[in-house]
Structure 1
Amino acid sequence: MCHIAGVEAGAVSDGVGARLLAARTARGLSQRRLAEPAYTSAYVSAVELGHRRPSAEALRFFAERLGIDDDELATGIPAGLAAELRLHLTEARRHWSAGAPAVAVAAYQQVRERAGAAGLTELVGLALQGLGRCAQQAGELTQAIAHYSAAERELAEHPLPTRVPSIVGQATCHALAGRLREAVFLLTSTIDALERADLTDPDAVLLLHSGLVSPYTQLGLHADAARAAEVAIALAPRVSDPERVAAMHIRVAATYLTQGKPSLAEASLAKAHDLYSRLDLRTELGYCRWSLGYTHARTGKLDEAAREFAAAREVLVAAGAAFQVLRLDCEIADVLRRQGRPHEAKVLLNNTLAAIDPADDLMAVSDIHRQLGLLLVTEGDVVAAEDHYRAAVALLEQADAALELAVTCRLLGDLLSHLGRHAEATAVYRTGLLATEGASPLLLGTDRPAASFHANQWDQS
């Protein structure tokens, strides 16, 4: 006996009818042959015309008769497409890590288009996150933020933890551009939202807290940075993604360094290196070696630092990470200067300065000006040195980098005081003092505070 159980009368067509018609005619079936014995040809006709929407039971019946997946008939998404696209996302991620960013971008774009056509919003969001990562490494911070923001919108109907990598990506780009307080606001407000919703996803919470370490440190909020690092470390055993744990260890190492604990920093970086090695993530290993070189440089191990920086640079050049290579060159120049090779350092810094737009990386450009000031003071060219110090101060005043500003003001104030311009020196010192509240004395006494290496690594994975 025929029946029409589960039918919604007058339902608006949602594409099921068109798919049913296409599949039926492709197989040479009449409406009657498709319908019987459970349904009528009139019912099939009504579904195909969009006048009726079949129940789940009816969909399963028709799909079985047609030899297709019932979800494919209901949604139009081919069976296995989601799994296939997830595999392509993994491959794109591998291409990015292996130093083929153009291939990765093309793969992410393809997934975005195919997933978008199929209505797979989660995969569209993940593809946009990947595009954001690629743009970020290329130094295209505005484009990266646009991709991350688009990913967040695409994932709006998904649970908040799914959107966290997009939010962390935006925050990292804001921090790189010197908008540190904006980065902190994004991260802390998301942590608050997770707590209000009672969503205790350890992967998401670790990502957010480890992301706070760098901007807190650059703001001079070392106690807050240490607390964020402690939360991240405590969460690590519960986190399922080893890549996120590795990135966390890199960020936490920065906190140990600001606390004057280089041995703990090196141990943390060794853990990151081990995890990245197991995962065979080449580009990430390059960032890890960059961070280890930074740690060596801050503890006076200049030869070891030079070796690690050279190894990191080789990896990043191969990865096509031109923006990151320029930032690394700032660190290499610092080591050259401290090794007594001022001419090489000066050439490298001037070349790097010519290649970086302050709008793309305000922090790196201010660091270059500060280093050039140090070199010129040594050469006795105090006029040019003052110009570079003032350029660095002006840039840092646009940002929220309290620690960097304080150190640069100290250097400029010392120069002005040496020149007998005490009133000007006092004004500059005052500017620096206003920025030093909560800053670590270990860092205020250095020429370059430990606030930059942990911004070179991100964890949107």
Structure 2
Amino acid sequence: MTGTSRVTITGEDAPGRPGVDHGDAPDSPAAIGRRLKRLRRDRALTQRQLAEPVYTSAYVSTLEAGKVRPSEAALRHIAERLGVDYEELATGRPTHIAAALRLRLAEAQRVLAMEDAADAHAAYEQILGQAEEYGLPQERAAALVGLGECALETGELADALARFEAAEHALAGEPLPARARAVRGRSVAHYLAGELRYACYLLESAIDALNTSGLHDPVALLQLYTASIAPYMDMGAHARAAQAAELALALVPQVTDPALVATMHRTVARTLIAEGRVDAAQMSLARATELYQQLQIRTELAHCHWMRGYVCAQHGDLAQAEKELRTAHSMLVSKRAALYVSQVEVELADVLRRRGKPAEAAELLESLLVGLQHGRGALHAGGAHRLLGMIAEEAGDVEAAEQHYATALSLLEQTGAAGDIADICRLFGDLMRSEGRTEEALNAYRTGLGHRAGPGTTTLGPAPARPPFAPWT
């Protein structure tokens, strides 16, 4: 991904763009004077022709030199003579540019949902350049969030974080609900990087700020509660995940964005699965799938197939699980969603192993680990090494199994994924015990029990405050 771009034009008579960047404010006398002079020359008008009958050529010359700030009346007269809108002459901002950029933002979002992230990235970069050029902070922040979401899809987590942080900074003076999408994006990037506790910290801090300050924005709260479910589940904080799901479901009647509602249904399904409510989880996934199909959001639709595959695998229907996971994998590969592809490959490899295809599973896992180098996707890399350890152990290669389990444990301890850590410690302990290494086995079991015995909470301690309004009691 490229860095943040800025469109600038140098030269006094640069054509076509009134917002020339000379280092001063677009509405400064110097900037207005340069625009006035360029527009006058473009129209082959003399200073006298522009000024008459109300003003003098000397006054126009003074304005073009940037020596005085023109009055509103003078600007309106000159704008009419030039055949341009007053706002364009006064600010360098073409009429309706903000509305035009918002339309282009919507189109870029559609491209990201339905087509290629690279094409969406290029569109967002162009929008960002124009938003910066014309001094439009809201549109600039929206373009930065869009670029962050492109980077999430392609697995460029450092770039995603930089974009979301820049968006938050751009909106620093706005109410917290306006920053919720950027906060959510930043937390997702930390989550995908394996920084579960910090992801939860960001979300809980924002939720508490909303609920204790009177900014009870349903859309912002739904985004934040929904985003908190996955890191809660991976940390073993199942009670908090269930509470977040409960609050998210209750917010749905107040939210009209179908994509946000669909994401909530897809995410809540995970808590329902953990509670053993398989039918309810399937209904939630069916609702999410229906909405994503209507909206043609391919990445999220792939996530629904992925979740369905997980449900089938949990209940022993391995053939259907493989079918669903391969569908998800194909859709994500076509979208070039690299990190999500790796996540699905871990699930698919587990199903292949359980179906008696260990060689195919191992090949898939070794391949995906190459793409997860440089600190990307610690959770998924840990899962891959766990499965490779199981495959090696089943093949009788104790040394390789031990190495993979040790690597998995090291990766997962960086993330705080309590349940996964406990599972690796159990596997490690069982392997040591089978080799007669009793003391090492006991140490592994103790480590796992320590993680299981932990509260599975985040760094904040108490759970976020509940919104102080209906429908909760």
User: Fold-level match, TM-score > 0.5?
Assistant: yes
Say which is worse superposed, 305-314 or 345-354, in terms of deviation: 345-354
Give the structure 1 partner of residue 467 of structure 2.
none
CA distance in 2, matches of 1:262, 1:77: 55
| 8 Å CA contact retained: 2:30, 2:67 | no
**Matching of residues 6-21 of structure 1 within 5 Å:** 13=29, 15-21=31-37
Give the structure 2 partner of residue 448 of structure 1.
none
| 8 Å CA contact retained: 1:333, 1:346 | yes
Give the structure 2 partner of residue 326 of structure 1.
342
| 8 Å CA contact retained: 1:222, 1:438 | no
CA distance in 2, matches of 1:185, 1:14: 47
After superposition, the C-alpha distances for 1:64-117 in whole angstroms (9 at most, x for unaligned) are 443322222221111122222222222222222233222222111111112211
For residue 276 of structure 1, report the CA deviation from its aligned partner.
Answer: 0.9
2:222 corresponds to 1:206: yes
CA distance in 2, matches of 1:79, 1:17: 19
Flag the 1:438–1:278 CA change in 2: closer, same or farther, 3 A.
Answer: farther
CA distance in 1, matches of 2:52, 2:254: 54
- Alignment counterpart, residue 274 of structure 2, candidates 232, 241, 258: 258
CA distance in 1, matches of 2:378, 2:237: 20
Amino acid at match of 2:378: L
Count of residue pairs brought into register by the alignment = 430
Give the structure 1 partner of residue 422 of structure 2.
406
2:137 corresponds to 1:126: no
After superposition, the C-alpha distances for 1:403-456 in whole angstroms (9 at most, x for unaligned) are 11111111212222233322222211111111113789xxxxxxxxxxxxxxxx
CA distance in 2, matches of 1:256, 1:358: 34
Give the structure 1 partner of residue 468 of structure 2.
none
- Alignment counterpart, residue 253 of structure 2, candidates 237, 242, 266: 237
- Alignment counterpart, residue 109 of structure 2, candidates 86, 89, 93: 93
Aligned CA RMSD, in angstroms, stands at: 2.4
| 8 Å CA contact retained: 2:339, 2:377 | no
Flag the 1:26–1:47 CA change in 2: closer, same or farther, 3 A.
Answer: same
For residue 184 of structure 1, report the CA deviation from its aligned partner.
Answer: 0.9
| 8 Å CA contact retained: 2:117, 2:153 | no
List alignment gaps of at least 5 residues for structure 1: 1-10, 441-461
**Matching of residues 271-350 of structure 1 within 5 Å:** 271-350=287-366
| 8 Å CA contact retained: 1:72, 1:79 | yes
| Partner-residue secondary structure (3-state), 1:15 | helix
Say which is worse superposed, 384-393 or 42-51, in terms of deviation: 42-51
After superposition, the C-alpha distances for 1:268-323 in whole angstroms (9 at most, x for unaligned) are 11111111111122232122211221222222222221111111111111112233
| 8 Å CA contact retained: 1:333, 1:349 | yes
- Alignment counterpart, residue 448 of structure 2, candidates 407, 432, 443: 432
2:169 corresponds to 1:153: yes
2:95 corresponds to 1:79: yes
Amino acid at match of 1:272: A
Flag the 1:438–1:273 CA change in 2: closer, same or farther, 3 A.
Answer: farther
Flag the 1:32–1:181 CA change in 2: closer, same or farther, 3 A.
Answer: same
| Partner-residue secondary structure (3-state), 2:336 | coil
Amino acid at match of 2:396: G
2:427 corresponds to 1:416: no
Amino acid at match of 1:335: V
CA distance in 1, matches of 2:196, 2:453: 16
2:156 corresponds to 1:140: yes
What percentage of aligned pairs have identical amino acids? 47
List alignment gaps of at least 5 residues for structure 2: 1-26, 457-473
| 8 Å CA contact retained: 1:63, 1:70 | yes
- Alignment counterpart, residue 401 of structure 2, candidates 369, 382, 385: 385
CA distance in 2, matches of 1:62, 1:196: 51
- Alignment counterpart, residue 115 of structure 1, candidates 131, 152, 156: 131
| 8 Å CA contact retained: 2:429, 2:442 | yes
CA distance in 2, matches of 1:22, 1:423: 83
Give the structure 1 partner of residue 7 of structure 2.
none
Say which is worse superposed, 85-94 or 238-247, in terms of deviation: 85-94
| 8 Å CA contact retained: 2:30, 2:65 | no
CA distance in 2, matches of 1:347, 1:428: 28
| Partner-residue secondary structure (3-state), 2:416 | coil
| Partner-residue secondary structure (3-state), 2:453 | coil
CA distance in 1, matches of 2:205, 2:176: 12
Flag the 1:45–1:201 CA change in 2: closer, same or farther, 3 A.
Answer: farther
| 8 Å CA contact retained: 1:99, 1:283 | no
CA distance in 2, matches of 1:292, 1:39: 74
| 8 Å CA contact retained: 1:24, 1:30 | yes
CA distance in 2, matches of 1:299, 1:378: 22
| 8 Å CA contact retained: 1:99, 1:320 | no
For residue 200 of structure 1, report the CA deviation from its aligned partner.
Answer: 2.2
Flag the 1:236–1:27 CA change in 2: closer, same or farther, 3 A.
Answer: same
Give the structure 2 partner of residue 458 of structure 1.
none
| 8 Å CA contact retained: 1:12, 1:52 | no
| Partner-residue secondary structure (3-state), 2:273 | helix
After superposition, the C-alpha distances for 1:344-394 in whole angstroms (9 at most, x for unaligned) are 222222232344216111111110111122222222323322221121111
For residue 212 of structure 1, report the CA deviation from its aligned partner.
Answer: 0.7
Give the structure 1 partner of residue 10 of structure 2.
none
CA distance in 1, matches of 2:132, 2:54: 35
| Partner-residue secondary structure (3-state), 1:200 | coil
2:409 corresponds to 1:396: no
Flag the 1:385–1:439 CA change in 2: closer, same or farther, 3 A.
Answer: farther
For residue 46 of structure 1, report the CA deviation from its aligned partner.
Answer: 5.0
Amino acid at match of 1:231: L
CA distance in 1, matches of 2:211, 2:394: 53
Flag the 1:298–1:304 CA change in 2: closer, same or farther, 3 A.
Answer: same
For residue 36 of structure 1, report the CA deviation from its aligned partner.
Answer: 6.1
| 8 Å CA contact retained: 2:382, 2:408 | yes
Flag the 1:265–1:376 CA change in 2: closer, same or farther, 3 A.
Answer: same
Amino acid at match of 1:419: E
Give the structure 2 partner of residue 444 of structure 1.
none
Say which is worse superposed, 28-37 or 11-20, in terms of deviation: 28-37
After superposition, the C-alpha distances for 1:147-200 in whole angstroms (9 at most, x for unaligned) are 221222223233332222222111111111111111111111122333354322
